[in-house]
Structure 1
C-alpha cells in the first residue's frame, strides 16, 4: 500500500500541472480585463483539450489504483499465510488480539480513498458547466482541493531544489576536474623541463671535467719529459766540460744561469696556464649560476601560475555558491509575491500560492 501511495503522488502532479497552467494563463488576461476583485480562478470553463486530457488521466489513475490494490491484495494473502504461525505465537505471549498489519492496511486503504475523492472533486470543479456550480463546488470542497495542491506544490519544490543541487554539484565537479587536469599538465611540463635542464647541466659538467683531466694529464707528461731531457743534457754537458777543462766550476755556473732562466720561463708558463684554468672555472661557475637563476625564475613562475589557478577556482566556487543563494532568494520572493497578488481572490492561501503562473 505504501508503494501505491508513492506511485499516486507523481501521477497527481502530472494531472494537475497542465490544468493549472491553463488556468494560470487565463488569470493574466482576465485580471487585465476585469480587475482582481471580481476574478475567480475557476470562472473559466476548461477547453476540450484539457477536458479530454483530464478524463484520460483520471481513467489511468483509476486503473493504476485498481491494479495496485489487486496486487497488494494477492501479496497480502501470501504474507498472511506465511505469518499465521508467528502471529499466533505473539498472541499467546502478550495476550492481545489486535492485528497491527490489518490496521496499517485499513489506514492505507483510507488514504487511497482520500486521494481518489480529492481527484474526483478537482475533476468536478474543472468540468463544471456553470460559474455558480463551479463556485459552489469550490466552496464546499476547498479544504480537499487545497490539500491536494499543497502536496503537489511540495513535490514540485523538492524536485526543483534537487535539480538545482545536482546542477551545482555537476558544475563544481567539472571545474575541479578541469583545474586538476591543468595543474597536472603544468606539473608534467615542469618535470620535463627540469629533467631536460638537469641533463644539459650534467653533460656540460662532464665535458668540462674531461677537458680539465686531459689538460692535467698533458701537463704531467710535459713535466716528466722535460725532466728527462734536462737530466740527459746535463749529464752530457758535464762529461764534456770535465774532459775539456778538468774542473766543472764554470760549467756549473753556466748551467745554473741557464736553469734559472728556464725555471723563470716555466714559472711564467705555469702562471699563464693557472690563470687560464681559473678563468675557465669562473666562466663555468658563472654559466652554472645563470642557469640556476633561470631554473629558479621558471619554478617561481610555475608556482605563481598554480596559485592563480587555485584562486580562480576558489572565486568561481564562491560565485557559483552566491548565484545559487540568489536563485533561492529570488524563488522565495517570487512565491511570496504571487501569494500577495492572489490574496484578493478570496481563495485559501495555499491555493493562491500554488496556482500562480510559473
Structure 2
C-alpha cells in the first residue's frame, strides 16, 4: 500500500509538472513572432460635405456621393526572435472609375508597402516603412504616383495597443500636360498618424485613429500665384471588429464595420481663396487571418502594421485644383 501511495504521488507530481511545462511552452510559443497574414474585403458608401470653392471656383465634383469598395492583404515573415519583415498591398475603387462624367471625382487608389521592425510581443514594436502607389481624382490627367517613407512604433498594455507613424510623402502626375506641371497631387508633405486599439475580448476590437498631412499642391508653373499652394489633410476614423462563431458553411468569421472621414483643404492667398471639402465613408467587410489564435494574439505577433490612405490623399490634390 505504501508503494502504491508513493507511486501515485509521483505520478500526480509528474502530471502536474508536465502540465506546467506545457502551459509554459504555450506561453513561450504565443510570445514568439510567427509567419502570419491577413486578407480583407469591404464595400462602402461615400458622400461629400462642406464643399467650398472659395474665389477660384476650382472644386466642383460631378458626383457628391458614390459607392466604393476595397481589399487589402498583408504578410509578415519573422527574420529572427524579434525582427520581422511585412509586405502590404491595398486597393480602393469607386463607381466613378466606370463613369464618363467624373470632373473632380475620386476614382481609385492603390498602394504597396514594406515594413522592417523589431518587436517584443509583450511590450511593443519600432521600425521603418516605405510605400509607393497611385491615386486618381479627376477624369483626365488625374493620376498621380506617390512614394512615402517613415518610422512607426507600437506600445502594448494588457488589452490596448497604441500605434504611431510619421514620415514624408511625395507624388508626381502621370501623362500630364507639360504646361500644367506635374505636381497637382499632394506632394512634398509630412504626415503623422495615431491609432488606438482596445480589445474588449480576445476576439472583439474597437479601433480609433486620427491622421494629419501638410504639403504642397500644384507647382510654380501651374499655379495662378506663381508658387505652390499649401494643402492640409485631416483624417479620422473608427472601426469595430468581431468574430461571429458557427456560421453555416463558413464557420467562424471575422467581420467589421467602419467609418472614415477625410477633410481636404488647399489654401491660396487667404481663407476665401481655399478649395475645401470633407469626404465621409461608411464601410462593412470581412477578414481572414492566420498566425495567432485570436485577434488579440494576432495583434501582438502578426501582420498588424498598416499604412495611411496615401493614394486617397494624393488624389484629392487634383480634385481641389
Calculate the TM-score normalised by the size of structure 2. 0.21
Return the index of the structure with the highest Cα Rg.
1
In terms of fraction of residues, the more helix-rich structure is 1
Greater relative CO, 1 or 2 (CA 8 Å, sep 6+):
1
Calculate the TM-score normalised by the size of structure 1. 0.19
